[in-house]
Structure 1
Amino acid sequence: MDCYDESLYCKQYMVDSHARTPFHRIEHWTEARFFARVSLKALGLRIQLGHDLGRTCLNPSRAKGDAFVIIDATGIHEVGLNFCDCQTKQPMTVQLLQRGLFPSTVTNPQTAATFHLLDLFQMLSMEGQVSAFEFYKSITRLTDKTQLDPPRDRYAQFLRMSREWRHLLQLKRSARGHHPDGAEGTQPGELAVLCPACPQPGINLPNEIDGHDSWWHALFIGIDANFRLKRKNVSNDILDPGLSRGWGYFVEDTAYQAHVTSDETPIEKSSCVSHKAVNDADKRPAKGLVVNGVGTVECTRHDFKRLLSVGDLRYGERYVNMDYIFFSSIKTVASKIPRIIASYNIACQWHINLWRRMDSLPTHLQYTAAQDSITTLVPKFHLPAHISTCQSRFSFNYTLGVGRTDREAPERGWDYLNPAANQTKEMGPGSRRELLEDLMGDRNWKKTIGMGNTLLRRMKEAVPECSTHTENHRELEAQIEEATITEWRTMVEIWKSDRSKPNPYMVETTALSQDAIRLHLSDLEAATLASGTLVMLHDEMTPSMFVSTGVDLEQQQHQLLVSLRGLGQHATDHQRLAVVNRANTLRTRITNFYDVQKLYCPAAFVLVSQANSTNEASSNVTEDVARLALCLPSSFKTASGCSTELREIEWQLRYAQAHDALNDIRAGLHLRVSVFRHKDRFDRGQRALTRAMGNISRVQARIDEAIQHYCIAYAALQILSRFVQHDGIWRGELAELKSEDIRGLGVVEMDNSEGHHTISWIWRTAGVAEAAGTDTDLHSSLRLEWCKSQARALRWSEEVSLLKEEMRRVLAFLTWQAAWWEGQVGQRDLPELITEGLDAYARRQADMRIRLAASFAAKWASVPAFLSLHNPLDTAGSDSRSTDV
């Protein structure tokens, strides 16, 4: 059934022809006139072990050879084995291994699996996350789909063989068979696959590191925890201790658990937002679980799992666990790497007492290098969840020498481990760690062989991005006085050396937002309400709530008009229904607002009636809702008709509304410029251009809405300022918004030359900068834009330099590793046949690294020419000098 031949043969020919393929499935023609399964053993085939097929064993009758079971990819077979029993015989296990059969035990084995089967299962478990049970059931079904004559159950033996196979391959690929000390001499972490692009002391780092270039040789690592990789309480370390004892990616579990269980330090209170990782640090496992998840440390630039960097979490993401695996991961390079960039989702909290907690760690994990050699940051995706202070202080975007990767590698790294969660949660501790380590090693190896394409792709992205952002930054600097740039550059340098100084990457606002103003007004009313002096004409709505509600209704009316205009002629009933429902809800709210308005501002009732009667009723009653007059205090042009208190409240709200609108306009203009530049430089073809124009339209709609809000707020401020006592500073902050004022930074007017180009007042106005500045002082938002622009250009410049250095390190690592494998030749004094096999394997591994390095070098051959287009930002602290590739 498995031969490439459909002819019928006699019994004897079938036996003779399958001497070298003894695990094919055979069917024979029965007296009942149909084909039925029959074993080669039943036909008389016997497998001779210990001798070549052409030789006859002098004494082939070895015990239990007739009751042997072989598990192969074609099924589970009972075979007849002739073990050699000559004077020169080898042990039964050796005889089986010489024929590609892996024995289930080392003493009188009765079951074996073919190497091909074990290799196939390992590959399916890594690529398809196939469990051992699923794989074994598939083999049994291939043997007999009807289960009328099921094969002998060998599932337990298969589990044991597959575990030993994984472990032996790890030892083999780490050259433990070549080392005189063998497997027992394996050192911690020695079975891990190292990242060739990371700095590896003594391998791909220069012997002497220039202090100016030390940032090139930083190690980037990320810390994270995964709570999907749980484990049920189904076994223990005594029953299932595992074959590897801290030799790969997991830390040695005995010492690790002894440390984490002895530490009873309470969890520190968060000074940032309420992070779940901090709050749930002491969360106990659910019923029936003994492990909640795993903590890990990864190389964040290349997505490699680091050696001795994984540990089980019995509770939550406790610092005692994460500290242990962090210092375990870096202990081999701690004193040899000039800088370590450590990213963690809660780095702002974790780093606070890190060095005090380190003192409680075992001596061999103590960090002996300077503490300032470790920089702690927060990954980019997680950073917006932090408070504003943390967002700038722990940002990769504003840190020197970190390039442009996002440091979210630990999150992406779980995609190849999480699918195995269903099977690992049912395993014992040893078998679970071995499976996860096998998956980690396979992932690292695939990343290694893909390093040529990965670094080339990143370089192709980094060079044009660097040129683009450098050019944009230079265009921005051309509009600013040199003295101002020097002042800002000094401010940035001071902040980088001392984070307690004013942060140039944060906007120092003097104008409060609408929400802040409303909170302030509510606090004042709460105080007067407590003292009994607040005059409330409505049981549930205070004066500030009344005015705030009117401002909100005004914005909702504008949004309703926008939605109506966006319906078009062929809108669906579902789209029209949504707009009509919004209009009906808004009409109800306006009616309720009128009822309160009669109490706080009776004169407004007359104005409302007159305005609504003069407005021509349209044929669309839904649109009429958006045109209902609200008559807020700014509607009164004379001193009578409205109290000063209500006017003061609206003035403050309108003042905040104007600044909020200006912020939205500036953000929209900056985004519009970026979208236009990307479209002009990169988008080609109808599909790409259509998508780009759609993005531009959406951005423009946001800008138009912000402009409308600003114009309404500014008109109200002009009227209210006649009746409320405020200084004239706000007129220096806000001005009438004209069409020519609405332009982004770096955009030149069509009717002005570059020499006469000026920056719109919206980028120079006070309100985000110091309110007391003169007309020539640039707004702090312009300073913020300059700082961010410089940071973007610097990070891309650094990325190119880091990629060049990483390419050099990869080739140096592979060259070293090839020489290392060559050095394994002749290491052991063993019989000639074994030594010959060991030496051949070492030479093969060396040749593999040489060819891999050659293929990378060929792919990167065009990089020097490509780098001729490199346009770095040559700024203090960033070096654009080339590195030979």
Structure 2
Amino acid sequence: MDDRNLFLLEFLWHEGRGDHAGANVCWNCRQGVPQFRCMDCFGSELYCQDCIVVLHAQNPVHRIQDLGLCVQLRHPAGEYCLLPERAFDDDFTLIHTNGIQTIGLDFCGCETAQTRTKQLLRVAWFPATTIDPRTAATFRILEQYHLLSFESKASGYEFYHSIARLTDNTGLLPGKDRYEAFIRMIREWRHLKMLKRAGRGHDPGGIENTRSGECAVLCPACPQPDKNLPHDWRAAPKTKGWIYGLFLAIDTNFRLKRRNMSKDSNDPGLSRGWAYFVDETTYKGYLQAHSGKLQERSTCSSHNAVNMADTKASQGLAATGVGTIDCARHNMKLPNGVGDLQKGERYANMDFLFFSTLHECCIDTLNVSYDIACQWHKNLWQRMSTMPPALHIDRFSKFIRFFVPKFHLPVHILKCQTTFSFNFSKNVGCTDGEAPERGWSNINPVASSTKEMGPGSRRDTLDDHFGDWNWKKVVGLGAMLLRKMDEAKEEDEAHRTVFEELDGALKRETSEPWKLEVEHWEYNPNDSSVTNPFEAKVTPITQAAVRLKFMEMEAHDLQQGIDISLHPDISPSVFIASGIDLENEQHVQALYTPTVQLLNSRSESSSQAVEITPEDAKLFLPSTMQTESMPCNMRLETIEDWVCGQSTNTRARNSLSRVEAKASTAAEKYRAAHLALSSLAPVLGKVGWNVKYKVLDKKDDVRGMSVPKNGESEGRRQLSWIWLVEGVGDDQDEVVQDSLRVEWCKARARSMRWAEEVELLNEEMRRVLQFLRWHASWWNELGRARTLSTAADNEGLVAYARCQAQLRHDLADHFQTIDILQ
């Protein structure tokens, strides 16, 4: 702040001629009149007109104060044209990094002159049209906006008008509006850069020879046959072959909407299914044929994605969002795995995207993650039969499993939480299936601009952003996999130790049957008749079950000729249950309308007789009568005790209460014994005893087997050490034993998942290196694949191919280096 005056005065110094205020001659030739200064060159020197023109022959778009610009394009051989052809009477618009400028432009007019389009491209100016171009943008400004759009998600409108304000920030000198031309140029630029980076310019068949998905950036860490897998990968034994499986994640994004404006005939896409979006013609044709089929209702939780797919609001929208298929472990969009949604998350849309991604996949093991997988996978193969034959896969030759992402799993019913869990399934490592969710934060900011685009413009723009996202993932794979490996090794060691301690604390005859049971389930994951070891076997006692039990007892009494009912329609158990329900409703009323209590108190204190309405009347259930020292039928007291005991619990409350009381007593007894041992050990010379018998002072130590620490997920949860000491399995209470069995299975699963994660990461790191080396060789071969008419054209092909090949080698070397340094 002390230097503000200094900075401000220096700003103002640049508004004048600075140190050259008294100059009488040109800084360069020392003869001409010093009238002009370049605003973009280094320094503030003043030059004469002839010198500044000569000095800027290679920098024509520098801003020179008070001097117009006229450019003469060169002859094909490189010399200046002897027969210049003036373009449109000094009415050519050039968009460049320093502003939007109207210039005079002389095209080459010689007999050997190239087309105007090619003349502009040769000087790195991108024409807005190929027919009599009157506007162009420099390659530099297009490249600048291209990268800025990826990082900031700035719209073309915002960028163009920022450049316009560089030219004139007052509006007093309005130039011609070239916004639409700029938007068209940037869209074509995006498309051409995609083709260039995919090697399409090196194909002898040309761009039209491009196949579906060929321009997508592939994931080097995913299994890619003939690219990063061993030649004998298919022959790998089952104990090894799982690491060559493909992990897929399906998800939708309802922020990427598109308004119902324009249509494909007016705004066709340039890619036509060459990258991430599926081919629109085939896709829309299939959806049209299945538009009248209603969505199947969910039998799990009330998933809006399933149950509201046919009713989701779509008024005024041509697309309510997009569906995508990603690689579940590395968060990259897969080729032909993206498509528009028209009415929410309908199976028809997601089926088409899923099979479009897989139709050329020859991987034998597929692990598919989807937040509604429990519903979607039903009848999937029957639905596949209605799709175009080119999208069919041989499901009988593949091992396919379906999962629900870890974060989404808790909202599913209990059976789904074990059947479709990554945590409990073998050979999946620590995959969580949530990869697509992490990518939406990157693409969501473009929703506001793409929502207003035509269909083709939007698809091309999103394709480009998805490609950039994939590329950034590729260059970051080395660091990401290394970080995950360090974490996995640490967790692997910790969970292996925890499980070994728990297993060692149990008797062999206790854990051996559990092991056989869980292994049988792991090897038969798709067999619903096999008992799931992660589900509790002790039947929960619910309030409804208690009521049913008493009704059965009363029915039995009636059969025996015993009837204690005092009402023909209401038995004692129904009377008590109804009373409890009414009491609960009274409590709810007090909660939502507290003033009721005030009204009641006023009525009671009033000397006048007040009519008591049924909802205000005290019910005097047996428990209330006891507090008033009033007699009551013992049978009714027993019923209320049982029913109330279950009203807020879904598990066996009595058994759990006994366990909690025993735990509290045992903890106090343990603390007393530990204190005594601490005093006696030095006297008796005992050492090392406190390694096994730790101090029980932390709040988290005394917790249930299935209770995590604050912030712990199921995949990282560790048992408290109190469950790892010898004798933990001696308690024969059926609730304790069943909980112990489930927890033993889960601890085993956690240990196995982290061990698998280490193995899987090792394989992925190997695959990344092999893929990059393969891709480098592919580029080197591509550089020799096409021969053009001139040496200059051929040199460009070879130079770019070698550059791309070297880039892959450099990435591989870098990944290996950081691995070695660790």
Q: TM-score range by the shorter chain?
A: 0.7 to 0.9
Q: How far does the alpha carbon of each residue in 1:118-137 deviate from its partner, in whole angstroms, 9 at most, with x for none?
A: 01111111111111111111
Q: Which residue of 1 aligns with 2:189?
A: 165
Distance change (3 Å), C-alpha of 1:536 and 1:645:
closer
Q: Which residue of 1 aligns with 2:793?
A: 834
CA deviation after TM superposition for structure 1 residue 790, in Å: 0.4
Of 394, 411, 423, which aligns to 2:449?
Answer: 423
Q: Does 1:604 pair with 2:629?
A: no
Q: Which residue of 1 aligns with 2:115?
A: 91
Inter-partner Cα distance in structure 2 for 1:490 and 1:169: 57
Distance change (3 Å), C-alpha of 1:599 and 1:125:
closer
CA deviation after TM superposition for structure 1 residue 442, in Å: 0.1
* 1:398 partner SS: coil
CA deviation after TM superposition for structure 1 residue 106, in Å: 1.3
Task: Say if 1:297 and 1:305, in contact at 8 Å, map to a contact too.
Answer: yes
CA deviation after TM superposition for structure 1 residue 82, in Å: 2.1
5+ long unaligned stretches in structure 2? 1-38, 559-564, 605-613, 647-651, 666-696, 708-717
Percent identity reads 43
What's the TM-score, normalizing by structure 2?
0.79
Of 344, 352, 368, which aligns to 1:324?
Answer: 352
Task: Say if 1:272 and 1:349, in contact at 8 Å, map to a contact too.
Answer: yes
Q: Does 1:147 pair with 2:183?
A: no
Q: Which residue of 1 aligns with 2:714?
A: none
Inter-partner Cα distance in structure 1 for 2:505 and 2:360: 50
Inter-partner Cα distance in structure 2 for 1:301 and 1:530: 65
CA deviation after TM superposition for structure 1 residue 520, in Å: 7.4
Inter-partner Cα distance in structure 2 for 1:130 and 1:257: 30
Task: Say if 1:536 and 1:543, in contact at 8 Å, map to a contact too.
Answer: no
Q: Which residue of 1 aligns with 2:75?
A: 50
Of 740, 745, 758, which aligns to 2:727?
Answer: 758
Q: Does 1:277 pair with 2:305?
A: yes
Distance change (3 Å), C-alpha of 1:511 and 1:377:
closer
Inter-partner Cα distance in structure 1 for 2:136 and 2:661: 73
Q: Does 1:6 pair with 2:57?
A: no
Q: Which residue of 2 aligns with 1:258?
A: 285
Distance change (3 Å), C-alpha of 1:856 and 1:269:
same
Distance change (3 Å), C-alpha of 1:409 and 1:203:
same
Inter-partner Cα distance in structure 1 for 2:663 and 2:75: 79
Inter-partner Cα distance in structure 2 for 1:475 and 1:700: 16
Q: Which residue of 2 aligns with 1:795?
A: 753
* 1:343 partner SS: strand
Inter-partner Cα distance in structure 2 for 1:134 and 1:449: 29
Q: How far does the alpha carbon of each residue in 1:160-191 deviate from its partner, in whole angstroms, 9 at most, with x for none?
A: 11111000000100111111011111111000
Q: Does 1:408 pair with 2:446?
A: no
Distance change (3 Å), C-alpha of 1:519 and 1:346:
farther
Worse overlay, 520-529 or 151-160: 520-529
* 2:747 partner SS: helix
Task: Say if 1:537 and 1:599, in contact at 8 Å, map to a contact too.
Answer: no
Task: Say if 1:522 and 1:544, in contact at 8 Å, map to a contact too.
Answer: no
Task: Say if 1:225 and 1:317, in contact at 8 Å, map to a contact too.
Answer: yes
CA deviation after TM superposition for structure 1 residue 218, in Å: 0.5
CA deviation after TM superposition for structure 1 residue 658, in Å: 3.3
Distance change (3 Å), C-alpha of 1:317 and 1:536:
closer
Opposite residue 347 of structure 1, the aligned amino acid is A
Aligned pairs for 1:49-128 within 5 A: 49-50=74-75, 55-64=79-88, 66-128=90-152
Inter-partner Cα distance in structure 2 for 1:283 and 1:267: 10
Q: Does 1:305 pair with 2:305?
A: no
CA deviation after TM superposition for structure 1 residue 697, in Å: 7.2
Of 847, 854, 868, which aligns to 2:813?
Answer: 854
* 1:803 partner SS: helix
Inter-partner Cα distance in structure 2 for 1:371 and 1:533: 62
Task: Say if 1:278 and 1:317, in contact at 8 Å, map to a contact too.
Answer: yes
Aligned pairs for 1:355-366 within 5 A: 355-366=381-392
Opposite residue 781 of structure 1, the aligned amino acid is S
Q: How far does the alpha carbon of each residue in 1:815-835 deviate from its partner, in whole angstroms, 9 at most, with x for none?
A: 000000000122222111010
Of 500, 510, 516, which aligns to 2:529?
Answer: 500
Q: Which residue of 2 aligns with 1:736?
A: none
5+ long unaligned stretches in structure 1? 28-37, 557-577, 609-639, 670-695, 707-742, 770-778, 864-885
Q: Which residue of 2 aligns with 1:649?
A: 640
CA deviation after TM superposition for structure 1 residue 7, in Å: 2.8
Distance change (3 Å), C-alpha of 1:664 and 1:191:
farther
Inter-partner Cα distance in structure 2 for 1:419 and 1:785: 43
Task: Say if 2:507 and 2:729, in contact at 8 Å, map to a contact too.
Answer: no
Task: Say if 1:764 and 1:782, in contact at 8 Å, map to a contact too.
Answer: no
CA deviation after TM superposition for structure 1 residue 547, in Å: 9.1
Aligned pairs for 1:6-25 within 5 A: 6-25=44-63
Q: Which residue of 1 aligns with 2:257?
A: 230
Distance change (3 Å), C-alpha of 1:114 and 1:516:
farther
Of 459, 462, 468, which aligns to 1:436?
Answer: 462
* 2:337 partner SS: strand
CA deviation after TM superposition for structure 1 residue 519, in Å: 8.8
Opposite residue 804 of structure 1, the aligned amino acid is N
CA deviation after TM superposition for structure 1 residue 273, in Å: 1.5
Q: Does 1:351 pair with 2:351?
A: no
Distance change (3 Å), C-alpha of 1:815 and 1:541:
closer
Q: Which residue of 2 aligns with 1:485?
A: 511
Q: How far does the alpha carbon of each residue in 1:9-57 deviate from its partner, in whole angstroms, 9 at most, with x for none?
A: 3333332322222222233xxxxxxxxxx3432xxx434333688x432
Worse overlay, 259-268 or 56-65: 56-65
Opposite residue 301 of structure 2, the aligned amino acid is V
CA deviation after TM superposition for structure 1 residue 269, in Å: 2.4
RMSD of the TM alignment (CA)?
3.6
Q: Which residue of 2 aligns with 1:33?
A: none
Worse overlay, 464-473 or 593-602: 593-602
Q: Which residue of 1 aligns with 2:710?
A: none
Inter-partner Cα distance in structure 1 for 2:785 and 2:219: 26
CA deviation after TM superposition for structure 1 residue 100, in Å: 1.1
Aligned pairs for 1:720-739 within 5 A: none
Q: How far does the alpha carbon of each residue in 1:240-268 deviate from its partner, in whole angstroms, 9 at most, with x for none?
A: 01111010000000011000110133222
Inter-partner Cα distance in structure 2 for 1:511 and 1:861: 54
Inter-partner Cα distance in structure 2 for 1:659 and 1:25: 85
* 2:339 partner SS: strand
Opposite residue 510 of structure 1, the aligned amino acid is T
Opposite residue 722 of structure 2, the aligned amino acid is V
CA deviation after TM superposition for structure 1 residue 147, in Å: 0.8
Task: Say if 1:65 and 1:83, in contact at 8 Å, map to a contact too.
Answer: no
Aligned pairs for 1:315-714 within 5 A: 315-333=343-361, 336-370=362-396, 373-496=399-522, 497=524, 498-513=527-542, 517=546, 532-534=569-571, 542-545=578-581, 596=618, 598=620, 600=622, 604-607=626-629, 643-651=634-642, 653-654=644-645, 656-659=652-655, 661=657
Distance change (3 Å), C-alpha of 1:463 and 1:662:
farther
Distance change (3 Å), C-alpha of 1:290 and 1:807:
same
Inter-partner Cα distance in structure 1 for 2:303 and 2:201: 48
Q: How far does the alpha carbon of each residue in 1:588-621 deviate from its partner, in whole angstroms, 9 at most, with x for none?
A: 9xx999984756467624559xxxxxxxxxxxxx
Q: How far does the alpha carbon of each residue in 1:731-766 deviate from its partner, in whole angstroms, 9 at most, with x for none?
A: xxxxxxxxxxxx9764289xxxx7xx32277x6422
Q: Which residue of 1 aligns with 2:722?
A: 747
Distance change (3 Å), C-alpha of 1:529 and 1:411:
farther
Opposite residue 426 of structure 2, the aligned amino acid is L
CA deviation after TM superposition for structure 1 residue 88, in Å: 2.8
* 1:317 partner SS: coil
CA deviation after TM superposition for structure 1 residue 117, in Å: 0.5
* 2:201 partner SS: coil
What's the TM-score, normalizing by structure 1?
0.74
Inter-partner Cα distance in structure 2 for 1:665 and 1:536: 30
CA deviation after TM superposition for structure 1 residue 403, in Å: 0.5
CA deviation after TM superposition for structure 1 residue 510, in Å: 3.4
Q: Does 1:134 pair with 2:171?
A: no
Opposite residue 650 of structure 1, the aligned amino acid is D
Inter-partner Cα distance in structure 1 for 2:800 and 2:566: 86
